[in-house]
């Protein structure tokens, strides 16, 4: 079993060696050239990486918003071709092409971050040394054992009090909660359970890896707040629950046509209401007419 694990570990280290080399070089630059402590070097590297990936995060949110805008038309297609799954898929794919929406666009930032996370694991493993299958590999950076802070001084071993995994789960939950408010309720609980599953998986990982993960979660929290409150993820007033347009009973031939009919129905509803309700001018004119009638009766 140990031989299999060693083989897999060596294989993935070879596959991700370019990422490991780049990340290791940047960490050495922060620690050696700038004189920054190891834990802070990891945090700084994380901020740099997440900043470079920020355009992909914005693109992910835009794609998610586009998918939400297409949902009513997708539901109409599913209802229209309820008994023909192949036709459903064809029409939905045609809709994606017409609106230039990529249904897998939201996965791109995650796919990019995974090699970086795995690369960080091997960098920390290499810098601090490790023991595997009864074989001890010495650290390439002995000072890495004393480069931590507070209760986790050795960044190459697990947090002895397991506080970092808990902080990692809480920060990840806070970061995903902003996103969870903007997705389907059915998917919210999955996103809320995800931090727990990841924390259980990473529970005994090196403390240095949690420095990367917690910093990444805090950067994600900040970026999500900016995107969803001041950027492309912000909901327009018409998309709020209180301002939903009236749905048309007619089948929509396109997104613009259906929205036009919905807005025209809203306008017609408002004009009809205004016609049925008397205005202040109408009431004043009616009062004047009543006074004139009373004066005529008195003269007679």
> Is the pLDDT score of 251 beyond 50?
no
> Is the pLDDT score of 260 beyond 60?
no
Predicted local distance difference test score (pLDDT) of residue 297 = 59
Q: Tell me whether residue 247 is in a domain.
A: no
- Which pTM value belongs to this model? 0.70
* Per-range mean pLDDT, top range of 25-39, 46-60, 181-195: 25-39
Q: Tell me whether residue 287 is in a domain.
A: no
Confidence of residue 171 (pLDDT cuts 50, 70, 90): very high
> Is the pLDDT score of 135 beyond 80?
no
Q: Tell me whether residue 245 is in a domain.
A: no
Q: Tell me whether residue 68 is in a domain.
A: yes
Mean pLDDT, the chain, as a whole number?
Answer: 77
Q: Tell me whether residue 69 is in a domain.
A: yes
Q: Tell me whether residue 256 is in a domain.
A: no
Structural domain boundaries, residue 60: 2-234
Range in 33-47, 122-136, 240-254, 267-281 the model is least confident about? 240-254
Domains identified in the chain, total number:
1
Q: Tell me whether residue 189 is in a domain.
A: yes
* Per-range mean pLDDT, top range of 8-12, 112-116, 249-253, 275-279: 112-116
> Among 24, 11, 18, which Cα is nearest to 128's?
24
Confidence of residue 4 (pLDDT cuts 50, 70, 90): low
Q: What is the percent of the chain with per-residue pLDDT over 70, rounded to a whole number?
A: 70
> Is the pLDDT score of 283 beyond 80?
no
Predicted local distance difference test score (pLDDT) of residue 218 = 94
Reading the block at residue 155, the tokens are 């960044």
Confidence of residue 209 (pLDDT cuts 50, 70, 90): very high
Asked if residue 18 lies in contact with residue 29, where contact means CB atoms within 8 angstroms, the answer is no
Q: What would the pLDDT profile of 111-127 be if each residue is shown by its tens digit?
A: 888 889 899 999 998 99
Q: Tell me whether residue 131 is in a domain.
A: yes
């Amino acid at each position: 079993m140990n031989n299999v694990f060693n083989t897999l570990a060596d294989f993935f280290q070879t596959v991700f060696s370019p990422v490991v080399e780049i990340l290791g070089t940047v960490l050495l630059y922060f620690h050696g050239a700038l004189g920054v402590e190891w834990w802070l070097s990891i945090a700084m590297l994380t901020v740099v990486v997440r900043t470079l990936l920020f355009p992909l995060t914005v693109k992910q949110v835009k794609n998610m918003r586009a998918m939400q805008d297409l949902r009513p038309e997708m539901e109409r297609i599913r209802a229209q071709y309820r008994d023909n799954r192949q036709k459903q898929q064809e029409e939905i794919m045609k809709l994606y092409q017409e609106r230039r929406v990529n249904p897998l666009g939201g996965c791109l930032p995650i796919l990019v971050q995974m090699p970086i996370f795995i690369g960080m694991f091997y960098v920390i493993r290499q810098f601090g040394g490790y023991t595997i299958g009864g074989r001890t590999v010495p650290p390439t950076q002995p000072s890495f054992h004393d480069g931590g802070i507070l209760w986790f001084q050795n960044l190459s071993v697990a947090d002895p009090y397991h506080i970092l995994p808990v902080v990692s789960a809480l920060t990840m939950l806070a970061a995903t909660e902003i996103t969870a408010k903007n997705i389907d309720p059915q998917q919210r609980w999955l996103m809320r359970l995800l931090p727990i599953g990841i924390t259980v998986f990473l529970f005994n990982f090196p403390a240095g890896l949690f420095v990367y993960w917690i910093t990444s979660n805090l950067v994600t929290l900040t970026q999500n707040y900016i995107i969803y409150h001041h950027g492309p993820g912000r909901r327009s007033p018409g998309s709020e629950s209180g301002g939903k347009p009236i749905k048309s009973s007619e089948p929509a031939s396109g997104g613009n046509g259906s929205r036009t009919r919905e807005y025209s129905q809203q306008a017609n509803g408002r004009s009809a209401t205004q016609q049925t309700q008397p205005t202040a001018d109408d009431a004043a004119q009616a009062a004047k007419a009543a006074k004139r009638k009373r004066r005529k009766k008195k003269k007679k």
